[in-house]
Amino acid sequence: MDASPASITILLVDDDRIHSRILEARLKGQGYQVLIANSGESALEQARQSPPTLILCDWLMDGMDGLEVCRAIKQDSALQATHFILLTSRSRVEDRVIGLDCGADDFLSKPVDPDELLARVRSGIRLHQANECLQLLADELRSQKERMDQELAEAADYVRSLLPVQVRGSVVVDSRFVPSHELGGDSFDYFWLDDDHFVMYLADASGHGLAAAFPSISLHNQLRSRSLSVDLHDPAEVLKALNSGFQMERHQGRYLTLWYGVYQSSSRTLRFASAGHPPALIWSEDGGTPTSWLRGQGMAVGLFEDATYITESHAVDHGACLLVYSDGLYEVARSDAPMGALPEFVDLVEDCRDLLRADDGLDRLLERIQTANGDVRFTDDYSVIRAIFP
């Protein structure tokens, strides 16, 4: 960003009127606009009224000296980008260190050499203009980030609007969805396919941002609208059909993990399949039996076109509780401990089995998880579904 000399304003601060006139003549001879101040106090007043591009200031002056002027200029947010050159007859390194500590950008030794004066001024103007460019760039990046944050917040609200509400009846289902700052790829749903079959699934697309949210939203729409050309009662066939239509080379290298289950109320049987997703957890009401891990077998959707999936079955006891979740719930980066892992999370769920049956069970579980992680900020979306089978 080159500017003509006429657009450059230089404030010359010196209580020696003869020396000031000599420097003024040199600078005006190059076309610069020059303002004169014969004291530190008047220099600050002029600078605040009309911020200059560059200040040339004598170190030794009566009243406010050059160091005090420099310090005041650099502490003023409206003036701190102004290039400040101290004029001094001092040549010791210690003196220059003091000047630099006060915020001076450069030095000119007195008596001032005319050629060096102009060279230092040109250099200072270039640095000032470079700083202005960087500031404009920073402002633009800040503005873009604000727009992106707003778009991500709106996208998170949209994803949240797609998610199901609490269900009560022969199956009692509640859920929570907490998007990360960048928004991730979590999506889930649960609904009755017919009078006897209840579907539950949770998907998690790799990555963050809108690009991760789109695949999950697409999957959600296909399943909710029942437009997928496959029997939704068969978990393995559902995963196979989704994998066939979603290959990572066509989606910027993204893939999805997915747990899909169908509960038949008449037989109290849960049929499920998994595509690389963390295992669902289920336990009985009496608490006498250990928690079962409903792992399923199969690679994440989108990794391999010929991936195979297997439907497995699990008998559901009266009053059993099921937990389906995304890995963002336990893969938390902690400053004072290794990243959270699945076994640690399962142990915490074991401790909360009774709490999870309460109406606010999910909230209490999430509070326990947050406390266990030292209240660190979660870096990924996390979602969880709790189903109770009365």
Domain boundary (136, 153, 180) is at 136
Please report which confidence band the pLDDT of residue 2 belongs to, taking 50, 70 and 90 as the band edges. low
Number of folded domains in the chain?
2
Domain boundary (136, 153, 184) is at 136
Tokens of 70: 């420099």
For residues 117 and 212, state if they share a domain.
Answer: no
Nearest one of 158, 177, 154, 156 to 166, comparing CA atoms: 177
Give yes or no for residue 335 having a pLDDT over 80.
no
CA 177 – CA 48 distance, rounded (Å): 51
pLDDT digits (tens, 9 = 90+) for 231-247: 999 999 999 999 988 87
Residue 153 lies inside a defined structural domain of this protein: no
Q: What is the mean pLDDT of residues 195-207?
A: 92
pLDDT at 98 (0 to 100):
87
Strands 292-294 and 197-205: unpaired
User: What single letter denotes the amino acid at residue 305?
Assistant: E
Nearest one of 27, 222, 227 to 124, comparing CA atoms: 27
What DSSP assignment string belongs to 158-172? HHHHHS---B-SSSE
Q: In 10 A of CB 253, how many CB atoms?
A: 11
CA 114 – CA 266 distance, rounded (Å): 98
Residue 271 lies inside a defined structural domain of this protein: yes
Nearest one of 63, 8, 16 to 35, comparing CA atoms: 8
pLDDT at 182 (0 to 100):
64
CA 47 – CA 55 distance, rounded (Å): 9
CA 330 – CA 385 distance, rounded (Å): 15
Between 145 and 342, the higher pLDDT residue: 342
Give yes or no for residue 250 having a pLDDT over 80.
no
For residues 204 and 314, state if they share a domain.
Answer: yes
Q: What is the mean pLDDT of residues 367-372?
A: 86
Dihedral (Cα; 136, 141, 146, 149), 10-degree rounding: 180
Residue 145 lies inside a defined structural domain of this protein: no
Nearest one of 91, 93, 95 to 66, comparing CA atoms: 95
For residues 249 and 358, state if they share a domain.
Answer: yes
In which domain, by residue range, is 94 found?
5-136
pLDDT digits (tens, 9 = 90+) for 259-309: 999 999 999 999 999 999 999 999 998 766 678 999 988 999 988 888 999
pLDDT at 3 (0 to 100):
65
pLDDT at 266 (0 to 100):
96
pLDDT at 164 (0 to 100):
87
Contact 212, 254 (CB under 8 A): yes
pLDDT at 1 (0 to 100):
52
Backbone torsion region of residue 17, taken as left when φ is above 0, otherwise alpha when ψ lies between -120 and 50, otherwise beta: alpha
User: What single letter denotes the amino acid at residue 26?
Assistant: R
Q: 């999910």: which residue's tokens? A: 362
Q: What is the mean pLDDT of residues 140-149?
A: 85
Phi first, then psi: give them for residue 307, nearest 5 degrees.
-60, 145
Contact 213, 155 (CB under 8 A): yes
Share of the chain above pLDDT 70, in %: 93
Question: Residue 82 maps to which CATH number?
Answer: 3.40.50.2300
Q: Where are the alpha helices (DSSP H) in the chain?
A: 17-28, 40-49, 66-75, 93-101, 114-162, 210-225, 235-245, 342-351, 361-372
For residues 218 and 321, state if they share a domain.
Answer: yes
For residues 108 and 249, state if they share a domain.
Answer: no
The pTM of this model reads 0.67
CA 96 – CA 165 distance, rounded (Å): 69
DSSP 3-state assignment of 308?
coil
Question: Residue 262 maps to which CATH number?
Answer: 3.60.40.10
